[in-house]
Amino acid sequence: MPEIDFQALRTGQRRALAKAITLIESSHPTHRKQAAALLERCLPHSGKSLRIGISGVPGVGKSTFIEAFGLFLIGLGKRVGVLAVDPSSPLHGGSILGDKTRMERLSREDHAFIRPSPAGRSLGGVANRTREAVLVAESAGFDVILVETVGVGQSEYEVHSMTDLFLVLMQPGAGDELQGIKKGILELADLIVVNKADGDAERLASQSVVHYKNAMGFLNHQGFWTPEVLSVSSIEPRGIDTLWERMVAYCEAGSEAIPARRTAQASQWFERLLNDGVTELLKTNAAWAELYQAQKQRVATGEIAPPQAALACIEPLENALKS
Ligand code: GDP
């Protein structure tokens, strides 16, 4: 693994950032230690971006939208990082999100950095590496970070838990049921954006805006912001400036709530890592792993109730900590 040139990273050199993220994505124990040290250096310089989650079913126009939105932001003098959480990315080979070939014009911009989803891990693992990549990209001076994910499953919750603002892209016309969008995902949305509001679909898009405004009215939202519904065309492009205005309004309204949300997110992330780490540590300890497997088996055969089995596993740990 090559040394990371921290100064190059801090001055926003994309090659240095790419190398840093490669280090972060490695699961080699030495690299994990180096990555932790790197994160420690990055932390004081992180946190200054707006983190935006973007979700939507395949084909809704995520990459077209991100390209148009990214170019718009660069036009405002911003530096844009695009990261992805793709639970379906195959073990080997590329992932379907955050791919440079999907956003050719944006990827040619000096002020854009695009990174596909880390591959070959559980969803939780992929999401954790993306969380780390957000911090590193921020310390490299990227001031808007877009985290893309597919609107089909659990990954929205992960992306929601690492971003300040969550945007769901929708197709014009088709109802949410038809788009395979779960009500739960609409509940996460701060902004619903009906894409492809152009040509023949423009009228349908306006109808969809009304539909989603009504649908959102039935959801129980809390906090500083009432979710809004807008339409855009990513190919023309049109409506992106209005969308950005609403995002700015969101940030102003959330000037106190957003930092509090980040604090809660960081603490949740810590708790999860701790749980995962301790469980992993135990499972790699031969004596304990044997006990764990035995109890797991006994639960599976109905020989023992889960609480009893869990206690049997925890007892030796308690004793070890006491001694
Ligand atoms: P993704 O799978 O969500 O990333 O979707 P893509 O960005 O690859 O877009 C899927 C298809 O929708 C492509 O053929 C795009 O050209 C088209 N598309 C995306 N945005 C728009 C738009 O604003 N208007 C129209 N008419 N087509 C769009």
- Name the residue at shortest CA distance from atom 24 of ligand 1: 196
Query: Residues 18-67: pLDDT tens digits?
Result: 999 999 999 898 999 999 999 999 999 999 999 999 999 888 999 999 99
Question: Do 165 and 190 contact (CB within 8 A), yes or no?
Answer: yes
- CB of residue 172 inside a 6 A radius of ligand 1: no
Confidence at residue 93, expressed as pLDDT on a 0 to 100 scale: 47
- 200-216: pLDDT as tens digits: 999 999 999 998 888 87
Ligand 1 centroid to Cα of residue 59, in Å, is 6
Q: What is the pLDDT of residue 120?
A: 67
Q: Which residue is closest in CA terms to ligand 1's atom 22?
A: 196
DSSP letter for each residue of 149-176: EETTSTHHHHHHTT-SEEEEEE-SSS-T
Which segment of 210-214, 230-234, 236-240 scores lowest on mean pLDDT? 210-214
Per-residue pLDDT reduced to its tens digit, 106-144: 999 999 999 988 876 788 888 999 999 999 999 999 999
Closest ligand 1 atom to Cα of 195 = 23
Average pLDDT (204-229) is 85
Domain layout of the chain by residue ranges: 47-254, 267-322
Q: Which atom of ligand 1 is nearest to the CA of 65?
A: 20
Our answer on whether the CB atom of 198 is closer than 6 Å to any ligand 1 atom is yes
Asked if the peptide bond before residue 87 counts as cis, ω within 30 degrees of 0, the response is no
What pTM was computed for the model?
0.91
By the 8 A CB rule, do 52 and 134 touch? no
Q: Which residue has the higher pLDDT, 91 or 221?
A: 221
* Edge-to-edge strand ranges of the sheet holding 80-85: 112-114, 80-85, 144-150, 50-56, 165-170, 191-194, 228-231
151 CA to centre of ligand 1 in angstroms: 15
Q: How far is the CA of 212 from the centre of ligand 1 (A)?
A: 20
Using the mean position of ligand 1's atoms as its centre, give its distance from the Cα of residue 203 in Å: 17
- In this predicted structure, what is the pLDDT of residue 121? 72
* pLDDT band per the 50, 70, 90 thresholds, residue 285: confident
Lowest mean pLDDT, pick from 99-113, 142-156, 172-186, 189-203: 172-186
- Rounded Cα distance between 118 and 105, Å, is 22
Q: Which two tokens stand for residue 3?
A: 């040394």
Q: With 50 as the cut, is the pLDDT of residue 92 above it?
A: no
Classify 47-254 by CATH class. Answer: alpha beta
Does the C-beta of 239 come closer than 6 Å to ligand 1? Answer: no
Cα 176 to ligand 1 centre (Å): 18
Least confident span in 77-91, 187-201, 291-305: 77-91
